[in-house]
Every structure is written in structure tokens, then in C-alpha cells.
Amino acid sequence: MPIDILMPALSPTMEEGTLSKWLKNEGDSVAAGDVIAEIETDKATMEVEAVDEGTIGKIVVPAGTENVKVNAVIAVLLEDGESASDIGAPKKAEAADAPKESADDAGGKARAADEEPEAAASGKVPAAPKTDVASDPDIPEGTEMVPTTVREALRDAMAEEMRANDDVFIMGEEVAEYQGAYKITQGLLAEFGARRVVDTPITEHGFAGVGVGAAMAGLRPIVEFMTFNFAMQAIDQIINSAAKTLYMSGGQMGAPIVFRGPNGAAARVAAQHSQCYAAWYSHIPGLKVVMPYTAADAKGLLKAAIRDPNPVIFLENEILYGQTFDVPKMDDFVLPIGKARVHKQGKDVTMVSFGIGMTYAVKAVEELSALGIDVELIDLRTIRPMDLPTVIESVKKTGRLVTVEEGYPQNSVGTEIATRVQQQAFDYLDAPIITIAGKDVPMPYAANLEKLALPNVAEVVEAVKTVTYRT
């Protein structure tokens, strides 16, 4: 039997990539381990090795093809005695779609493909349905919008701030020569050099402290954590040193520093790599906590965070990195920290979410719209200081509130919002507030369990039906 060579996945969240180059031609014989092709994603370029020996019978996907789905057949390998005539019809289309069709037991792509349809498959599809998105009052009317990935937006924000202020530098693991573990710092080393783009050893506690010390001395460090899960090693420096020094010094010195990196669950990386820290850091006076969803917010808020004289926790999400949104083309696009954005106006129910939670919210709002329920969706954007007035104003209008986030349910951002809303707008509520969160379990690895542990669109839809008594 000829052996299908499939498009490999290079990371837990990869869905497709470019087959940039074939290093073998049809008819060439290969041994296991031989490099046969190069593939490229928005994150990395990787070599594809043959896993069996044989002869390249057919190259199915020619070099230069973009958006090749993971698991698509890219070539066929012939074993001894076989010839090209033994090759059946290629099965490329089905291969890529397989996980979608059997999402319950699918592999790693289940979460990305099934749960975030607007992100779906391709990074080129705008994540937010444009027709529904309310315009951001912070973006001037008529501004030209440029489709940009969250990844590019973050990089652009840092580059612009580094150009503007020599005191700004970035340090972290793999930020320089590797170009960023998630490619967020791509190109920065080339432009700014090793003085300002600093690869650190794997030593979170230590380099967080070094960053805070440099900030206390007046520099403006951006400290990248490869993921916020690893920042647990550094949390003492973040809280006891960065957050509290301004207060403890009677206002003499603080730490103008940004701690940023991917937060929360990616896909199939299990318990120790899948935790949302929004609620954790939002507990701490002295910190600001930002968690953007769109690329525009990522850019405008990261620039604001870098300029902020306080320590800012900037929580990103790996799954959002590759998603594309419109970003205003402005010389200096800075958004205010601490201000929520009404993502979609509505009159029946208020829904509050932030970060990747918005992907469930956006989808649910679409489905609910089809049922005739008009949801007002608020993207909190900043968790601390929290823009409660925007939430209260909306709840006074709708009388109903549902919150959506991926973090654990106890002492979540949603329960905080619920507490404050019932204190400040009790008389306006027509139904108990429902808080949708991740389940109260460490993140499991198995695809089906992981899916169950995360919020899903159906339960968000159900929650809205409940608060509108439509069940």
C-alpha cells in the first residue's frame, strides 16, 4: 500500500500552514528521517521528515501552496515494488475536515475548529462579525482600518513604543533570536538590537525581579512570560515588589513595568499550562490587569500599558494570536486602560466577557439574535480597574446579566461583577445573574474532557434563555 504523507501539526493550535518547499522530487528515494519538505505557519518554519522509507510516488500539494490543512495528504510514498499507478485518488479534502465532523473524539484541533467558528480554520477570517460590532468611540469616524492579526498588533505596539522611548525594552525567554516562542517579538531583535531585546535564561522568578528592579530604577521593561502559567514562579516579585512598592514608599518610587504573555488555556496542553489568571491578578491593589480580545484593543491597550507608570498585567491568549481583526491606521493609536467597549448594542440582556471568553459570547449572541433575543455584549478589556459603570448602565437598560469567561468559577471575574451589580443595581435586575466560567477542575488533556471543562456556546445561549425566562 502506498503511504500517505500528511501535513503535520507544528503546535497545539496549528490548523493550517504553507507548504513552502519540497526538498525531494517525485521518483526520489527517501529513508526515514530524511527531510523531504519545509512548511511554514505564522509562527515558525519547520522541516518535514519522512517517517518511512520508500520512493516519492507523487507530490500532491505543490510547493508554494498556502493554507494547507493539517492532516491533508501532501505526498504519497511508494514502498518497494509499488509504482505510481498504485496510487488511488487523493483524499486531501476529507483529511482536513475530519476533526470537525467528529468533534467529540477528535484530536487537538477540536477546540479551535469547533469552539471558535469565527476564528475558524483560517486566520484570514475576521473573528468578529463586522456587521454586529459597534464602533469604538476611541477610534475617530472614518479612520482607515487594516486587517491585522493579534500577533502583529502586539508586535507593532511594542515596536512603536520602543521607537518612541529608549527606556522601553523587552526581556523574556526566546524573545530575541528565536523571535518569540509565539512569534510575538518577531523582528524586534533586528530593529532594536540585543541591548533592548533581551533573551533571558529560563528563570522566571529571577528575571521578573530583575525587570522590577530595572523599573524601580526608571526603565520601562516589558517582561514576556512564555505563558502566565510560568509566572507563578515569579508571582512574589509581581505582587510583593511590583504592585506594592509605590504604596510602601509613600509614592516615591513604583514599577512602570508590563508583564505580558499568553494566558489561559490553549489547546490540549492540560492542567499545568492551561489556567486563566485574570481573577488572580485582579485581586491585587497596585496592579492594572488588561485582557484584550480584538487586535485593535491588543495594540491600543499594550501601548497604553507600556506608557502606564504602574505595573500592568497584560493577559493574551494563544488561540487569539492568529486571529485577524480590523486595526485603525493611526500614527499613535492608544486606548484608555480601564474602559470597557460595547461590542454590540442590544436591549434584552447584558452579556459581559473579555479576552477569549468573547469568542463564546460573540457566537452565542449571533445564535440568540436568530431567536429574537437582542443581547448587549460588553467586552470588559480591562479587568482592573474595572469599568463597572458601563456594565451597570447596560444592566439598568436590560435588567439581565450573564458573564462569560474561561477561568475557574470560584471567585471569578464574573462573580465579582455579579456581586457589585447586585449591590449597585439590585432594583433593576429582573432575573438572577448567571456567571459562565470554566468548570471547577484542573484542565484535562483528553480532547472530549477538555471540551467539557471549557465554557461552550450552548451553555451561554442557555444562560441567556434562562435570564429571559425563555426556556
Question: Is residue 273 among the annotated active site residues?
Answer: yes
Residue 176 CB, nearest approach to another protein (Å):
10
Nearer to another protein, 230 or 293 (CB): 230
Of 204, 224, 318, 450, catalytic: 204
Residue 229 CB, nearest approach to another protein (Å):
18
Pairing of strands 197-199, 220-224: unpaired
> What is the per-residue DSSP string for 401-430?
EEEE-SS-STT-HHHHHHHHHHHHSGGG-S
Of 273, 316, 416, 450, catalytic: 273
The set of residues, in sequence order, having a beta carbon less than 8 Å from that of 127 and lying 6+ positions away, is 116, 118, 119, 294, 320, 323, 324, 325, 359, 362
Residue 311 CB, nearest approach to another protein (Å):
9
Q: Name which of 388, 459, 397 is nearest 424 in CA terms.
A: 388
Cα four-point dihedral sign 146, 150, 151, 155: positive
| Sheet containing strand 401-404, strands side by side | 341-344, 375-379, 349-353, 401-404, 434-436
Cα four-point dihedral sign 327, 328, 329, 334: negative
Element (H, E) at 377: strand 375-379
Nearer to another protein, 33 or 285 (CB): 285
Nearer to another protein, 62 or 218 (CB): 218
Residue 108 CB, nearest approach to another protein (Å):
33
Q: Which residues bind another protein (CB under 8 A)?
A: 169, 193-195, 198, 200-201, 203, 205-219, 236-237, 240-241, 244-254, 285-286, 288, 309-310, 385
Question: Is residue 405 among the annotated active site residues?
Answer: no
Measured CA to CA in angstroms, residue 148 lies from 14, 230, 279, 281, 396 at distances of 18, 28, 28, 28, 35
Residue 291 CB, nearest approach to another protein (Å):
17
Active-site residues, by number, are 204, 273
